[in-house]
Structure 1
Amino acid sequence: MNDSDKIMAVIGGIAVALAVIAWLGDRRRMKRRDLDRVGFMPWTSVFFFALMAAVLLLGVVGKDLFRS
């Protein structure tokens, strides 16, 4: 595992953590009591792009690990 693989793995892990936080934020927004308090954060978009980045980065790292 070279340095670029380690960097991609760390960034992929951060993207997974961000996706989990965004998923929880979106879930919290869907279950809110006061429907007028919408908020300003686009949790669904943040979740989608963070999960996409995590899948791509960790997929490349996993492919390189199993190829060696």
Structure 2
Amino acid sequence: MNDSTSLMMIAGVVAAIVALVAWLGDRRRMRRRDMDRVGFMPWTPIFFWSLLAAVLLLGLGGQSLLGG
């Protein structure tokens, strides 16, 4: 495993963690009791882009890790 593969895998795991946090933030926003407190974080786009990055980075890292 070379440095670029391990870097892609680490970045993919970090992006997956960010996607999980954004998903939990979006879920918390949808289930809030006080509907007037909307917050300021755009959780849905953060989730989308971080999940996309995680899938691509982990897919490319896994492909090169498996020898493809």
TM-score grouping bracket, smaller chain normalisation: over 0.9
Matches within 5 A, 1:20-59: 20-59=20-59
Matched-pair identity in %: 60
Give the gaps of 5 or more residues in structure 1.
Answer: none
Superposed CA deviations along residues 2-61 of structure 1, whole A, max 9, x for unmatched, are: 001111111100000000000000000000000000000000000000000000000001
Q: Distance in 2 between matches of 1:40 and 1:26?
A: 11
What does residue 18 of structure 2 align with? Answer: 18
Q: Distance in 2 between matches of 1:25 and 1:39?
A: 10
Q: Distance in 2 between matches of 1:15 and 1:52?
A: 9
Q: Report how many residues are paired.
A: 68
C-alpha root-mean-square deviation of aligned residues, in Å? 0.9
TM-score by length of 2: 0.96
Deviating runs (4+, > 6 A) in structure 1? none
Give the gaps of 5 or more residues in structure 2.
Answer: none
